[in-house]
């Protein structure tokens, strides 16, 4: 059994958490990467709150496309 923070994806997850603090990240048992945020305030209820990708790099790219004016922390 691995201790916390020693998974093969720990470094990539830590970078995503640092760069996108409004989001929570997980890797499924099928190795799919997920970003989740919420609950969203009422005025943001129609905004994207779940993003998934095959790799942490793809997930980062998708999150960057969502961020207004390229800001990584605006979401």
Once rounded to an integer, what is the mean pLDDT over residues 30-41? 93
Q: Assess contact for 65 and 58: CB atoms under 8 A.
A: no
* Cα–Cα dist 53/14, whole Å: 17
pTM: 0.77
Tell me what the pLDDT averaged over the chain comes to. 85
Average pLDDT over residues 37-55: 92
Residue 67's pLDDT is 75
Per-residue burial over 10-45, b if 16 or more Cβ lie within 10 Å, else e, is eebbeebeeebeebebebeeeeebebebeeeeeeee
Q: Do 60 and 23 meet the contact criterion of CB atoms below 8 Å apart?
A: no
**Among the listed residues 66, 54, 56, the one whose alpha carbon sits nearest the alpha carbon of residue 30:** 54
Identify the pLDDT of residue 55: 97
Confidence of residue 51 (pLDDT cuts 50, 70, 90): very high
Task: Kindly tell me if the per-residue pLDDT of 72 is higher than 90.
Answer: no
């Amino acid at each position: 059994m691995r201790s916390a923070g020693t998974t093969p994806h720990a470094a990539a997850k830590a970078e995503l958490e640092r760069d996108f603090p409004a989001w929570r990240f997980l890797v499924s048992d099928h190795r799919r990467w997920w970003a989740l945020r919420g609950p969203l305030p009422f005025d943001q209820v129609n905004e994207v709150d779940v993003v998934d990708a095959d790799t942490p790099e793809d997930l980062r790219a998708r999150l960057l496309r969502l961020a207004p004016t390229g800001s990584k922390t605006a979401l």
